[in-house]
Copies of this chain bind each other. A is one copy, B any other.
């Protein structure tokens, strides 16, 4: 949990509005760790938790899934658009979803927090609590981390998970497979569009953006059902379909008619003068799962068939080019 340590002069009584600078690194680390201990204390696979040079974990199965993500304030989240707890839930969900997208089960996470000295301690603690709660919802625990000062708030998360069967990669889609989706799709993008215009409703979409509800467990379910390729929709459905197509050396056609556009998205589309389908085809952040299956019969209940895999390359919509937004870029 610790790097860049200093002498710590014991427990500090902190004002409710104390900042990280006032708390000091060690005072804050101690409090952050306490946000995780409720779950750590009962996790028999954490042999050594936060506080030493490294955590020590017992891995029962032989294959470990590992993924890392960065989130930067102003780019991946805004403190005025979501509470600290919301940002914690989102940061955890994004990483837990990566393990879901391999067909695995998340077990342990580390978290690095870089922040200005002016950041309120309460924000950091609420963030940590939300993060730990999201992890706990899938039985995963926070086993360590790091804390440092920076000009902007940045969150670095690494998740470790396990696969009880072969992981499902992006590269296994074959011509003739069907494309299927599970989980809410486009809701978070609708919420983000609303927030971007300064509104706070439809509330259900704003909440979907603030606290995504990835279909945890559906990745493993897809793997057991024989999914040939699997990815989570972090950046946009068509963008992710493009990743599957490229990694698998196939073409993918998406059928917009397969999507029932929920009422709140219709309302946002009408209010913003936008085609609500663009939230579904271009939106990410819900962390839905997109998979290919060898045939219709193997698609599990709760998954919706939204397209097909053919020979060729690239992604089409109803056989043609889609000229709406398909995702977003970092540079």
Which chain A residues have a beta carbon within 8 Å of chain B's beta carbons? 2-8, 20-21, 23-25, 28, 47-48, 51-60, 62-72, 75-76, 94, 98-99, 101-102, 104, 108, 110-114, 117, 143-152, 154, 156, 158-161, 163, 167, 169-171, 230-232, 234-235, 239-240, 242-243, 246-247, 326-331
Instruction: Please measure, in the bound complex, the distance between the C-alpha atom of A114 and the C-alpha atom of B75, giving whole angstroms.
Output: 11
Instruction: Please measure, in the bound complex, the distance between the C-alpha atom of A99 and the C-alpha atom of B328, giving whole angstroms.
Output: 37
Name the B residues within 8 Å of A160 (CB-CB): 64, 66, 160
- The reply to whether B149 and A330 form a contact with Cβ atoms under 8 Å apart is yes
Instruction: Please measure, in the bound complex, the distance between the C-alpha atom of A54 and the C-alpha atom of B145, giving whole angstroms.
Output: 19
Instruction: Please measure, in the bound complex, the distance between the C-alpha atom of A307 and the C-alpha atom of B145, giving whole angstroms.
Output: 30
- The reply to whether A6 and B327 form a contact with Cβ atoms under 8 Å apart is yes
19 additional A-B pairs beyond A6-B326, A58-B63, A75-B148, beta carbons within 8 Å, are A3-B234, A6-B239, A6-B330, A23-B331, A25-B330, A47-B63, A53-B67, A53-B101, A53-B170, A53-B232, A56-B65, A56-B167, A57-B64, A57-B65, A59-B63, A67-B144, A70-B154, A112-B156, A151-B152
Q: Provided the pairs A3-B94, A234-B5 are in contact, do residues A169 and B52 lie with their beta carbons within 8 angstroms?
A: yes
Instruction: Please measure, in the bound complex, the distance between the C-alpha atom of A310 and the C-alpha atom of B3, giving whole angstroms.
Output: 26
Instruction: Please measure, in the bound complex, the distance between the C-alpha atom of A72 and the C-alpha atom of B145, giving whole angstroms.
Output: 15
Q: Provided the pairs A3-B94, A59-B62, A144-B67 are in contact, do residues A149 and B52 lie with their beta carbons within 8 angstroms?
A: no
Name the B residues within 8 Å of A143 (CB-CB): 66
- The 10 sampled A-B contact pairs (Cβ below 8 Å) are A6-B327, A6-B330, A7-B239, A47-B63, A48-B167, A53-B170, A54-B99, A57-B65, A66-B110, A70-B150
- The reply to whether A331 and B242 form a contact with Cβ atoms under 8 Å apart is no
- The reply to whether A327 and B68 form a contact with Cβ atoms under 8 Å apart is no
Residue among A24, A232, A330 with most chain B CB within 10 A: A330
Determine how close the nearest CB of chain B comes to the CB of A27; give it in whole angstroms: 9
For A8, give the chain B residue with the smallest CB separation: B246
Name the B residues within 8 Å of A326 (CB-CB): 6-7
Name the B residues within 8 Å of A65 (CB-CB): 54-57
For A155, give the chain B residue with the smallest CB separation: B156
Instruction: Please measure, in the bound complex, the distance between the C-alpha atom of A34 and the C-alpha atom of B158, giving whole angstroms.
Output: 22
Determine how close the nearest CB of chain B comes to the CB of A120; give it in whole angstroms: 13
- The reply to whether B68 and A112 form a contact with Cβ atoms under 8 Å apart is yes
For A234, give the chain B residue with the smallest CB separation: B3
- The reply to whether B98 and A51 form a contact with Cβ atoms under 8 Å apart is no
